Amino acid sequence: MGGKGNRRTGKTNQKQEKAEKLSETEKLPETTSESEDSEHEDDAAEKMDGQDHNETLRVGLATISKDIKDLKQEIRHELNTLKDELKKEMKEEITTLQQEIERKLTDNINELQTQKATMAEAQERIAELEEWKIDAGEVMMEMQEQTR
């Protein structure tokens, strides 16, 4: 807003200067052509100042646009890099997890086989004990019958 105020003040000053020049030309009729020439020069200078200002604005906007495009490209590049790093880390984590699961499954399979072997051995012993018990019971019955 400060810039607008200064431009308005500058334009107001220019208008006042033109008005003063006009009043001076009214006083001096022989210098009318000189004052008209200077008014045309002032108008041309104002147009040049306006064009310079517009060109400065265009250059500034072009610079800002380029900076935005560069920032956009940089952000895209960084996001792609981050995405690639995350993919790589996730693949490594998944591979590690898969290896750990396979190791645990292998351990569980080995433990299950050990338990099956132990169970088979226990069942065999139980079967032997039951057979021994039956045999021992028969022997005891025979001895009882003989003692009678």
| pLDDT value of position 147 | 86
| pLDDT value of position 49 | 73
| pLDDT value of position 51 | 82
Q: Quote the CA–CA distance of 35 and 26 in Å, as a whole number.
A: 10
Task: Give domain limits for the chain.
Answer: 19-115
8 Å CB contact between 25 and 31 = yes
How buried is residue 14: exposed, middle or buried, by Cβ count under 10 Å (0-12/13-18/19+)?
A: middle
| pLDDT value of position 2 | 44
Per-residue pLDDT of the chain (148 residues; tens, 9 = 90+): 444 444 445 555 666 666 666 555 554 444 445 555 566 666 666 666 778 888 899 999 999 999 999 999 999 999 999 999 999 999 999 999 999 999 999 999 999 999 999 999 999 999 999 999 999 999 999 999 988 7
Q: Quote the CA–CA distance of 148 and 138 in Å, as a whole number.
A: 16
| pLDDT value of position 6 | 46
How many helices and strands in the chain, by DSSP H and E? 2, 0
Backbone angles phi, psi at 28, to 5 degrees: -115, 95
> Which pTM does this prediction carry?
0.44
